[in-house]
Amino acid sequence: MRKWFVVACFALLLVGCGEREKVFVYQSGNEEQNKQEIQHLLKEADVVDEANVIFLNDELFVAIQVKPWKKWNRMKVEESWQKKLEQKFTNLNVTVSTDFKMFWETTKIIDEQGQQDVQEKIHDLKKLAKEET
């Protein structure tokens, strides 16, 4: 019985440590260079746990999940990434959010993969990101 318990614990450990995608990108155009650039930037960041990126026309919406021990400086992380991405992508209207609700909503948008309502949903998310609670 004890052997089976050890085997089950080891199996659960392996399943829990599976590699997941760190950066998800949704884009409406064929701007592969921008996609590669932002993926590289976010994957190399030590503060970013996961990120959802949405390129839509002239909009860039980035929802970042900050690593657990870095959450105390969430607003500083958001401001620094906002500046960094505005400098890198000068031709796009950049919005960065470290709020979990934004991450969750962008995940739903990426999963739907329908371009019909994406523009409206992004507009609503930008309004939500600007609100302070």
Residue 7 lies in a domain: no
CA nearest 76: which of 94, 98, 93?
Answer: 98
Most confident of 16-30, 54-68, 117-131: 54-68
Predicted local confidence at residue 9, as pLDDT: 62
Residue with token string 């999940």: 65
**49-100 per-position pLDDT tens digit:** 899 998 888 888 899 998 888 778 888 888 999 999 999 888 888 989 988 8
Q: How many structural domains comprise the chain?
A: 1
What is the residue-averaged pLDDT of the chain? 79
Is residue 40 domain-resident? yes
pLDDT at 1 over 80: no
In a domain, 2, yes or no: no
The answer to the question of residue 93 being in a domain is yes
Q: Is 59 helix (H, G, I), strand (E, B) or coil?
A: strand
For the chain, the C-alpha Rg in angstroms (whole number) is 17
For 93, the domain range is 20-130
User: Do the domain assignments include residue 56?
Assistant: yes
Residue 130 to residue 97: CA distance in whole angstroms: 9
C-alpha to C-alpha distance for 130 and 35, rounded to whole angstroms: 25
Give me the residue label for tokens 């409406």: 28
- Residue 95 domain-assigned? yes
CATH code, domain with 126: 3.30.300
Model-level pTM? 0.74
Query: Does any domain span residue 5?
Result: no
Residue 14 lies in a domain: no
